[in-house]
Structure 1
Amino acid sequence: MSETETWMSTPLSSTEPWMVVGLGNPGPEYAGNRHNIGFMVADLLAERIGGTFKRSGKAQAQVLEGRIGPPGPASRRVVLAKPMAWMNLSGGPVTALKDFYKVPTDRIIAVHDELDIDFGTLRLKLGGGDNGHNGLKSITKSLGANYLRVRAGIGRPPGRMDVAAFVLKDFGSAERKDLDWFVDRAADAVEALVSDGLERAQGAYNS
């Protein structure tokens, strides 16, 4: 049985919450960076829910509680989170929030930038390696690898440009033309994971 089949075979409880973690670096100077696309997706989901992020008293993070899905019993309780620690320390806030809200690890969705996927492309998966991403590396060290990921492609740096410099630069002018669409699609993918499960969401969004 594959990881996807194992995950799909577990009945979805309407009472256990989900947690969506948008990964990024705190501070206005990083807001438009490629590395902060997870924050961008989390901010859009907050708009859709109709709430405002507030500083958590339980972790170094901004948090918003709400529901995703159609109104009524089919909707799912969700905790949106943006760690306010540096990217490479994301595991601490995520673990504290997981413990406080009692979120199963396989109901945590990390939204992050992905170098090995072209800009504008999404990949959804459960588990796996961190591919050198410091935010994932920190979360995996704290929780293990059995959490969901929405991998938002940003592509590789041009020429010999350093990877760290590339991810900490703002999206280029050509990318910004499609950035709103891409963030919107990534937010849709998160909602599909929560409402429809991994297999259906992969079928719809693993473009």
Structure 2
Amino acid sequence: MAGFRLLVGLGNPGNEYSNTRHNAGAEWIEALAQQSQCLLRMEKKFSGLFGKVHIAGEECYLLIPTTYMNLSGTAVQAVCKFYKISPEEVLVVHDELDIPPGSAKLKKGGGHGGHNGLKDIISKLSNNREFARLRIGIGHPGHASQVANYVLKKAAPDDYSKIEQTINESLRYVEDIVAGNLNPVMNKLHSFKA
């Protein structure tokens, strides 16, 4: 299977959103940039923080859209168009309500599951759903009416620590992920519990 050329971490810009549950994807990209000694710079034409890294011998682009979550697709579409990247070569890292904190799941393609960032990316990529997703568990507040408030709040210290551990654990497999060796990573990651 072919690998990934664009790794995208979803979140909301601004200090008031840093360390909130909804920013788990953006934190993953920040951690990867730090690990790869890559400086993410604001790139106006891509509506986001952008950088280039070499992983597993491949040049990859890192992106954190700064458009607010609901418009994440604008940034993804701009990078894909500029570098001629197909949706199949994109990995989107995002927070996932249906997975408890301390767990993560990797999957290829699928729907948006009500996630507004994914919804916008799918629509901006001409309804192509074939990009991969790394879903970082943040847990569910228990009722749909509480979701908006819940994702925009900082996680409790115990949950936050589990989310951080999950980010660090999944970054251990970044070379395999980028190379497209998803099955062995799924086996290891899906059994991990922080």
Q: Common fold, TM-score beyond 0.5?
A: yes
Distance 1:42 1:182, change over 3 A: same
- Does residue 134 in structure 1 map to residue 116 in structure 2? yes
The offset of 1:61, in angstroms, is 0.7
Q: Which residue of 2 aligns with 1:200?
A: 184
Q: Which residue of 2 aligns with 1:82?
A: 64
The offset of 1:159, in angstroms, is 6.3
- Does residue 65 in structure 1 map to residue 49 in structure 2? no
Partner of 1:58: helix, strand, or coil? Answer: helix
Partner of 1:139: helix, strand, or coil? Answer: helix
Question: Matches of residues 31-46 of structure 1 in structure 2 within 5 Å?
Answer: 31-46=18-33
Alpha-carbon contact 1:42-1:187 (below 8 Å) kept: no
* Higher radius of gyration, 1 or 2: 1
Alpha-carbon contact 1:150-1:189 (below 8 Å) kept: no
The offset of 1:186, in angstroms, is 2.8
Partner of 2:50: helix, strand, or coil? Answer: strand
Aligned residue identity for 2:116 = N
Q: Which residue of 1 aligns with 2:38?
A: 51
Partner of 1:90: helix, strand, or coil? Answer: helix
Distance 1:190 1:145, change over 3 A: farther
Alpha-carbon contact 2:88-2:130 (below 8 Å) kept: yes
Deviations 1:60-110 (A, max 9, x none): 1110101112xxxxx111100000001000011100011112222111000
Alpha-carbon contact 2:24-2:163 (below 8 Å) kept: no
Alpha-carbon contact 2:8-2:29 (below 8 Å) kept: yes
Q: How many residues align?
A: 189
The offset of 1:158, in angstroms, is 4.4
Aligned residue identity for 2:43 = S
- d(CA) in 2 for partners of 1:89 and 1:106? 20
Moved more, 87-96 or 158-167: 158-167
TM-score between the two structures when normalised by the length of structure 2: 0.91
The offset of 1:187, in angstroms, is 2.4
The offset of 1:59, in angstroms, is 1.5
Moved more, 193-202 or 123-132: 193-202
The offset of 1:129, in angstroms, is 0.9
Q: Which residue of 1 aligns with 2:134?
A: 150
2:9 is aligned, of 22, 33, 41, to 22
CA RMSD of aligned residues (A): 1.8
Aligned residue identity for 1:147 = F
Moved more, 37-46 or 187-196: 187-196
Alpha-carbon contact 1:150-1:190 (below 8 Å) kept: no
- d(CA) in 1 for partners of 2:83 and 2:162? 35
Alpha-carbon contact 2:11-2:64 (below 8 Å) kept: yes
Moved more, 163-172 or 183-192: 183-192
- d(CA) in 2 for partners of 1:44 and 1:203? 22
Task: Point out where structure 2 has 5 or more consecutive residues left out of the alignment.
Answer: none
